[in-house]
Structure 1
Amino acid sequence: MQIGIPRELKNREERVGADPNGVSELVNSGHTVIVEEDAGLGSGYTNQQYINAGAQIGAVGDVWNSEMIIKVKEPIESEYQYFKPDQIIYTYLHLAANERLTAELLKKNVTGVAYETMVGPKGDLPLLFPMSEIAGRMAVQVGAHFLEEPHQGKGLLLSGVPGVRKGKVTIIGGGTVGMNAAQIAIGMGADVTILDINANRLAELERIFNGKIHTLMSNQQNIAKSVKEADLVVGAVLIPGAVTPKLVTEDMIKSMEPGSVVVDIPIDQGGLFETSIKATTHDDPVYLSYGVVHYTVANIPGAVPRTATEALSSQTMPYAVKIANEGIVNACANKTIATGVNTYHGSLTEAAVADSLKMPFADLREILLKPEFS
């Protein structure tokens, strides 16, 4: 199989779909890999490193003229022209908030395999996990930065100093993102509260952090109180494949002190705050709403591309090799790969996406039983 690895085009997105080690795995499995020229430079990988791994270096058209494309972020509109029937695009797709991309994948009969909906044997999300770790840790780091007065914040140090209160951090969602955000916030000396709908998870987090956090059940009353009192709110809720619920209302944002900061991590799934009106970029990361600083960058881990690429490639490559070796139909015998297939032969095969976009859903298992696919 010919596999293409294009350069990412989103603002300040310097990650790349595979590092040289990942390319080597694909080449050693008998596949041809074409990497777009300079695609890896932002992550610290030279063209020569990819050549040494067995790849060819090509122009964008050559890369996209491949049977399988491996990316990091969803294709943008300028890349839609390269879609072709039966092509596999293996990347973060986040289709629930992107009707245009969904329509293009369906129209061109592209097989879209989304990292974020791939479910592991234990019910985990193995390809979302590494970026969730990074996004959670960075959320508090950037939140602390924008709390500084020169960056439109209220001029507050999260750790406080002796005799002065610590900053209050509210984290909505106790999964991988929330846990990693809490880890950094505690390390900075903040007063941390985590809200989640799962009482068992909250108990587990209290044990993990040895009582250094406050935990609350996630309901409208507790969210409203915690948001009002917070200096920094981190939105850390993700429903795989679906639009993120708007758990923080406009009135809750109005109740916060001016110069407080919110970081909306699931903005590429629609965002958790009603006032998250747009995804921002690393070049222009924040805007004010009711005096509250909103950080809504859709590719937070893109700010640390070397770490992020290594972490992501190590998780995506085993599945990429399996898809390339067996083809998508046979590879779907692996349930993790099957759960990643969002579009196939003009059908929308991810129920949560179909529900979010109010589009028809088709069961992938039933499609693959048809004679033409068996």
Structure 2
Amino acid sequence: MIIGVPKEIKNNENRVALTPAGAQELVKRGHTVYIQHTAGEGSGFPDELYVSAGAQILPSIEDTYGAAEMIIKVKEPIESEYKLIKEGQLLFTYFHFASHEPLTRAMVESKATCLAYETVERPDRSLPLLIPMSEVAGRMAIQKGANYLEKPLGGKGILLGGVPGTLPAKVIILGGGIVGTHAAAMAAGLGADVIIMDVNLQRMRYLNEIMPANVKTMMSNEYNIRKMITNADLIVGAVLIPGAKAPHLITRDMLPTMQNGAVLVDVAVDQGGCIETCKPTTHQDPTYVIDGVVHYCVANMPGAVPYTSTLALTNATLPYAILLAEKGWKQAALDLPELKTGLNIINGEIVYEAVAQAFDLPFVPVEKYLQD
């Protein structure tokens, strides 16, 4: 198969979808790998490393899309890329369709096959291609939150872990999944007073067993959220419903009850955000303030640590990319059912129900395309 890796062009996105090691694994299996010129530089992988691994360098994004049967990316295509996508081309990347109607409609019109990292789901409900970036984002949420709690950056001027004779910051984490768990571990390690709020008692029992003593769990409901946010210093939104838009757990009317200089970090922004006042921001302009509350809602947080993120992502995606290249998307999805759930759009039809429901668009069961 001919595989293309374009350079990411979303604002301050420095990751690349494939490392030189990943390219070598595909090439040695007989596949052709095209890397757009300088695609890996932001992650610390110059063109020379890809050439040494057997890949070929193409000068432009147009050449890369034009040559490839399968495009492997990190972030969803942006508007300038829509016209480059070909009918029948396989796109393997993060899409987060349910939060972006123009992208959804553009991919329907392209008649490409869209296989989304974030909805590849194993029988145990785990999301193997979302986990590595969730781990990075969860840890970064605390780093960034601690940073923006500093007074010069708009925060209330509190040190996350405090010092002897002072109280540590109060951190609320909405959601006890991968993002929430890593955020809690990071915050706890810095000495903060942490509460994880979730709706799954079994998950909370597990978290109680593995987390240090300064992490507590609490049932997530509107009453408890309203009560707890009034004295929170840092709140991390870490809610995920696979493939669907995130619910608003903190609503606009709650903000006036919060402390001036408190910080909200909404990691769910890719899926529409679990904080009603959330709107996507960039690393270039990451925050805004509403009612005295600092909002950090960068939609590609792991892009700020591209070397770590690219390695972690390729570790997870490469086995699937190899299978797709070896067998094609249809046979791969038949052989490995978790890839079936990754299929979101095929030949102009939405085959992932949550995406269709988000915009009241027609839905076609994916089985239509997987019949022998």
Distance in structure 2 (CA, Å) of the matches to 1:70 and 1:254: 44
Distance in structure 2 (CA, Å) of the matches to 1:172 and 1:335: 30
Distance in structure 1 (CA, Å) of the matches to 2:148 and 2:363: 42
For residues 65-114 of structure 1, give each alpha carbon's deviation from its aligned partner in whole angstroms, at most 9, with x where no partner exists. Answer: 11110000000000001011100000000000111111111111100000
Structure 1 residue aligned with 2:302: 301
> For 1:146-157, what aligned pairs fall within 5 Å after superposition?
146-157=148-159
What is the TM-score when the length of structure 2 is the normalising length?
0.98
Distance in structure 2 (CA, Å) of the matches to 1:288 and 1:123: 36
Query: 3-state DSSP class of the match of 2:83?
Result: helix
> For 1:192-203, what aligned pairs fall within 5 Å after superposition?
192-203=194-205
* Equivalent residue letter for 1:61: E
Structure 2 residue aligned with 1:332: 333
Structure 1 residue aligned with 2:370: 368
| Deviation, structure 1 residue 121 | 3.6
Which of 157, 168, 174 aligns to 1:166? It is 168
Distance in structure 2 (CA, Å) of the matches to 1:338 and 1:26: 22
Structure 1 residue aligned with 2:241: 239
Which of 180, 183, 191 aligns to 2:182? It is 180
| Deviation, structure 1 residue 210 | 4.0
Whether the 8 Å contact between 1:35 and 1:55 is mirrored in structure 2 is: yes
> For 1:26-65, what aligned pairs fall within 5 Å after superposition?
26-58=26-58, 59-65=60-66
> Any unmatched runs of 5+ in structure 1?
none
209-218 vs 317-326, which moves further? 209-218
> Any unmatched runs of 5+ in structure 2?
none
For residues 241-276 of structure 1, give each alpha carbon's deviation from its aligned partner in whole angstroms, at most 9, with x where no partner exists. Answer: 100000111122211111110000011110011111
Query: 3-state DSSP class of the match of 2:341?
Result: helix
Query: 3-state DSSP class of the match of 1:293?
Result: strand
Whether the 8 Å contact between 1:166 and 1:190 is mirrored in structure 2 is: yes
Distance in structure 2 (CA, Å) of the matches to 1:365 and 1:29: 29
For residues 157-196 of structure 1, give each alpha carbon's deviation from its aligned partner in whole angstroms, at most 9, with x where no partner exists. Answer: 1111122111000000000000000001001110000000
Query: 3-state DSSP class of the match of 2:355?
Result: helix
Query: 3-state DSSP class of the match of 1:120?
Result: coil
Distance in structure 2 (CA, Å) of the matches to 1:176 and 1:272: 16
Whether the 8 Å contact between 1:206 and 1:212 is mirrored in structure 2 is: no
Distance in structure 2 (CA, Å) of the matches to 1:122 and 1:311: 21
Which of 77, 80, 91 aligns to 2:93? It is 91
* Equivalent residue letter for 2:10: K
| Deviation, structure 1 residue 2 | 0.8
Query: 3-state DSSP class of the match of 2:7?
Result: coil
Distance in structure 2 (CA, Å) of the matches to 1:13 and 1:45: 14
Whether the 8 Å contact between 1:241 and 1:353 is mirrored in structure 2 is: yes
* Equivalent residue letter for 2:87: P
**Structure 1 vs Structure 2: percent identity of aligned residues?**
50
Does residue 81 of structure 1 match 2:83? yes
Distance in structure 2 (CA, Å) of the matches to 1:337 and 1:257: 44
Distance in structure 1 (CA, Å) of the matches to 2:110 and 2:168: 54
* Equivalent residue letter for 1:139: A
Moved over 6 A (4+): none
What is the TM-score when the length of structure 1 is the normalising length?
0.97
* Equivalent residue letter for 2:85: F
Query: 3-state DSSP class of the match of 2:345?
Result: strand
Does residue 24 of structure 1 match 2:56? no
Aligned-pair RMSD on alpha carbons? 0.9
Structure 2 residue aligned with 1:128: 130
Whether the 8 Å contact between 2:192 and 2:214 is mirrored in structure 1 is: no
For residues 114-133 of structure 1, give each alpha carbon's deviation from its aligned partner in whole angstroms, at most 9, with x where no partner exists. Answer: 00000024221000000000
